[in-house]
């Protein structure tokens, strides 16, 4: 890739990538092993001896994986047949082809961080599918559900706010509508702090009412392109013919509280007529601890619907209806759980690229999406976002992320230095956020 800087990797001792591979990933594997162990009796009740044997096998495969990682062994191909096995193994060969002859095989600390981190989660999945009859077990399910239950107060506050807003929406003038749009965008941004992979799988629920904190959080938004999003969608609304559609696609990140903030935003987009249909994209397999799968998506809507709080329950009923009416559409695609950066999507997954091209606006939630948008490379802080996207322009798009990796582009000269001086870990703490837009203005 001519002109692109080197990938972030664990070679840089002390870097966030290095510490992730050295500390956070082994912690996540240890938790996955503990989770399997805790479900031992459940597996036995369901499947008898076969369940017990499967649990032992999965634990042994994950322990082997942890050992490979900690001793920086070569990265090995996948053996279990799955829909993406061939693409993954081709990618491993591609990584091998980038090395010099005397470098040997790709290894954990010397390969691109994005690649090895994705590889690790795909290996967890391989360990589970190699262990029938527990081959559909999600080792992260409990922690995702715990995040949802521990965030109940915030979810109730958010659902109440939404229902009050929807009731009065017809009476809002354009400026009030814009203010509400900005408010729900910011709630969706700060909802992205609830990331279980950042905490090594430790709980990271939302316990404060985020709506009341927005003003004090505003100065922490480093790139704020919300105005572009408003003018794009408001313009679509004004120029839309009666039968035509405005489609917003949301590439999801975490389940639990963050997913609620995304669904609340999606509901508002329909209720305000800024959009007429919303398409969501989730992961086909359990991923990065807390990422949303179809099971998480359906489970969460069911939980909201069956709440004994009337406004929360009303949200769940409305959301289920949007799905039935085809106003909300959920997609998954194996590309989202491959290690590829998005600039190769049009070659690797042309069907997905063509689907995204149908959107008027695509919102990419979270840090992993940002790393894949920008190739997870050592870009200068001031490089324009458009350039870092490296030709990935299916439709106007916006990254909505809190910063949890040592990559950020599109900053003003001097802006990064200012944060570096006062906060050495400003790039990885999740304290700062961005709304970074790319598209015709």
pLDDT at 1 over 90: no
Q: How does residue 211 score in pLDDT terms, banded at 50, 70 and 90?
A: confident
Handedness of CA 124, 368, 92, 336 (dihedral sign): positive
Give the pLDDT of residue 72.
96
Give the pLDDT of residue 104.
87
Give the pLDDT of residue 155.
95
pLDDT at 203 over 60: no
CA distances from 116 to 106, 339, 433 (A): 9, 8, 25
pLDDT at 196 over 80: no
Taking the C-alpha atoms of 86, 91, 97 and 100 in order, what is their torsion angle to the nearest 10 degrees? -130
Report yes or no: 404 and 439 within 8 Å, Cβ to Cβ: no
Nearest to 333, CA basis, from 298, 287, 286, 285:
285
Give the pLDDT of residue 218.
96
Structure tokens at 340: 């590829």
Nearest to 226, CA basis, from 264, 180, 194:
180
Q: How does residue 200 score in pLDDT terms, banded at 50, 70 and 90?
A: low
Task: Quote the CA–CA distance of 353 and 317 in Å, as a whole number.
Answer: 32
Task: Quote the CA–CA distance of 196 and 200 in Å, as a whole number.
Answer: 6
Task: Quote the CA–CA distance of 132 and 195 in Å, as a whole number.
Answer: 29
Residue found under tokens 């992993």: 368
Q: What is the pLDDT of residues 316-337, one digit of tens each?
A: 999 999 999 999 999 999 999 9
Between 174-188, 238-252, 302-316, 391-405, the lowest mean confidence (pLDDT) is in 238-252
Report yes or no: 303 and 288 within 8 Å, Cβ to Cβ: no
End-to-end CA distance of the chain: 28
Q: What is the pLDDT of residues 370-410, one digit of tens each?
A: 999 999 999 999 999 999 999 999 999 999 999 999 999 99
What is the percent of the chain where pLDDT is above 70?
Answer: 96
Helices (H), 272-378: 294-305, 310-325, 345-348, 350-356, 367-373
Average pLDDT over residues 146-155: 93
Between 213-217, 349-353, 408-412, the lowest mean confidence (pLDDT) is in 213-217
Q: What is the pLDDT of residues 33-43, one digit of tens each?
A: 999 999 999 99
Mean pLDDT of the chain: 95
Average pLDDT over residues 358-371: 98
Residue found under tokens 């702090």: 193
Q: What is the pLDDT of residues 239-286, one digit of tens each?
A: 998 779 999 999 999 999 999 999 999 999 999 999 999 999 999 999
Give the pLDDT of residue 126.
98
Rounded to 10 deg, the angle between the 294-305 and 257-271 helix axes is: 70
Handedness of CA 419, 425, 431, 432 (dihedral sign): positive
What is the percent of the chain where pLDDT is above 90?
Answer: 92
Average pLDDT over residues 225-245: 94
Report yes or no: 127 and 82 within 8 Å, Cβ to Cβ: no
**pTM value > 0.95:** yes
Task: Quote the CA–CA distance of 301 and 425 in Å, as a whole number.
Answer: 36
Give the pLDDT of residue 205.
59
């Amino acid at each position: 890739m001519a002109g692109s800087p080197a990938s972030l990797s664990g070679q840089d001792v002390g870097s966030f990538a290095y510490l992730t591979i050295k500390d956070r990933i082994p912690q996540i594997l240890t938790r996955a092993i503990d989770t399997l162990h805790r479900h031992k009796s459940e597996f036995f009740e369901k499947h008898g001896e076969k369940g017990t044997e499967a649990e032992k096998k999965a634990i042994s495969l994950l322990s082997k994986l942890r050992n490979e990682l900690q001793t920086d062994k070569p990265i090995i191909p996948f053996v279990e047949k799955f829909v993406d096995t061939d693409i993954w193994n081709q990618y491993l060969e591609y990584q091998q082809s980038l090395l010099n002859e005397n470098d040997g095989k790709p290894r954990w600390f010397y390969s691109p961080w994005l690649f090895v981190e994705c590889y690790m989660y795909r290996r967890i999945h391989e360990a589970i599918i190699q262990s029938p009859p527990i081959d559909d077990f999600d080792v992260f399910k409990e922690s995702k559900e715990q995040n949802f239950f521990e965030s109940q107060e915030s979810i109730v506050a958010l659902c109440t706010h939404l229902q009050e807003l929807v009731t009065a929406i017809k009476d809002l003038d354009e400026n009030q509508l814009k203010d509400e749009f900005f408010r729900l965008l910011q709630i969706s941004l700060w909802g992205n702090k609830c990331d279980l992979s950042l905490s090594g799988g430790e709980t990271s629920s939302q316990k404060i009412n985020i709506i009341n904190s927005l003003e004090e959080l505003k100065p922490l938004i480093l790139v704020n392109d919300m105005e572009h999003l408003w003018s794009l969608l408001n313009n679509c609304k004004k120029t839309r013919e009666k039968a035509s559609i405005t489609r917003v696609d949301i590439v999801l990140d975490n389940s639990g509280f963050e997913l609620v903030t995304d669904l609340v935003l999606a509901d508002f987009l329909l209720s305000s007529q800024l959009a007429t249909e919303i398409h969501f994209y989730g992961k086909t397999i359990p991923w990065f601890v807390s990422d949303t799968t179809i099971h998480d998506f359906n489970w969460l809507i069911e939980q909201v619907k069956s709440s004994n709080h009337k406004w929360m329950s009303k949200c769940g009923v409305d959301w289920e209806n949007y799905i039935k009416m085809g106003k909300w559409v959920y997609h998954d695609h194996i590309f989202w759980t491959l290690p590829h950066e998005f600039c190769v999507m049009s070659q690797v997954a042309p069907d997905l690229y063509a689907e995204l091209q149908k959107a008027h606006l695509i919102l990419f939630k979270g840090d992993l999406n940002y790393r894949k948008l920008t190739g997870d490379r050592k870009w200068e802080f001031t490089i324009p976002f458009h350039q870092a996207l490296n030709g990935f322009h299916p439709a106007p798009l916006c990254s909505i992320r809190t910063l949890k990796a040592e990559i950020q582009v599109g900053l003003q000269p001097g802006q990064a230095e200012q944060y570096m001086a006062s906060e050495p870990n400003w790039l990885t703490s999740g304290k700062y956020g961005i709304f970074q837009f790319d598209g015709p203005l």
